[in-house]
Amino acid sequence: MSSLESDARLLAWWRFEEGAGDVVEDSSGNGHTLRLVGDPAWVRGKPGGAVALNGKDQHLETAGPVLRTDESLSVAAWLRLDRAVVGDYLAFPPGWYAFTAVSQPGPAAGSLTHSPFYLGVRARDEDTPEVMKWCLEVAPVDGDPPGPPWPFVWENAFSPGQLDSSVLDRWVFVVGVVDKESLTTHLYLPATGEHGTATLVSHWPFWQADAPLQIGRAYWRNEPVDQWPGSVGPIRLFEGVLTQDDAQRLYREDLGGDEPG
């Protein structure tokens, strides 16, 4: 992998090159093998391989936590919303407000388990679920704090542009960053140069999620939610902060140095 502008450290890298079977090996050398659950299909990615998820009962997960979610972190993933699952018109099912591709939920069964971060697609707000954007959402607590009024609100780094049905069946490289030092989160789309950001309050309670990393779903109040209706390709996880230039470097590297086609 090419050198990065930042000092972010690679924790896991799944290339999805196996093409068959029920595991995805970790190319970082750190041993974070992904296990396929629900028999998702292997498909061709861009780049490398991928698996297609049905948006219902298929996902991938590690044996344990990968990221220190109480510190700065970065996630870079190739994602696709599939017309075969979503249909010809991009929309959330009734009562849904998000599709989550990558998350790492909180610690204990029986608790109100959330994830400190959710990378995927989210409604701009619950009143307008038809306004869908790429998003990195961060949660301040694992469970429900006393309230209302609540001492914290969930924060979202949204892509500037709204998604429509033209995104279906198209691979998109998405990078989400949580920067503890600057109290900001970032969402990068290197193909278009889009950059969304959110600012966290000075007393934001960064917390560690100790459950296995989830690909293709999230948890909300100890229940799986936001199942990803499409394919996931190569994914990298980092300790530390990727810059916008880093995101562009990874994108160009994955495409073999070529511009997108």
pLDDT band (50, 70, 90) for residue 126 = confident
Task: Decide: 27 and 213 in contact? Cβ < 8 Å.
Answer: no
Please tell me which residue, 257 or 162, carries the higher pLDDT value.
162
Task: Check if CATH label 3.40.350.10 holds for domain 9-254.
Answer: no
| pLDDT per residue as tens digits for the range 52-67 | 999 999 999 999 999 9
Strand order in the sheet with 155-158: 23-24, 34-37, 59-61, 214-215, 98-103, 117-123, 132-138, 155-158
Both tokens of 197, joined, read 């950001």
Name the percent of the chain lying above pLDDT 90.
Answer: 80
Residue 40 tokens, joined: 């998702």
Query: Model-level pTM?
Result: 0.94
Q: How far apart are CA 16 and CA 231, in angstroms?
A: 11
pLDDT in tens, 15-65: 999 999 999 999 999 999 999 999 999 999 998 899 999 999 999 999 999
* Half-sphere exposure for 160 (CA within 13 Å, toward CB): 8
**Distance separating the N- and C-terminal Cα atoms of the chain:** 22
Rounded Cα distance, 191 and 201, in Å? 30
Dist CA 52 CA 42 (whole Å): 6
Maximum CA extent, the chain = 51
Give me the pLDDT at residue 221, please. Answer: 79
Report the alpha-carbon distance of residue 95 to residue 91 in Å, rounded: 11
Query: Residues 216, 58: contact at Cβ < 8 Å?
Result: yes
According to the model, what pLDDT value does residue 146 have? 59
CA dihedral defined by 239, 31, 213, 173, rounded to 10 degrees?
A: 60
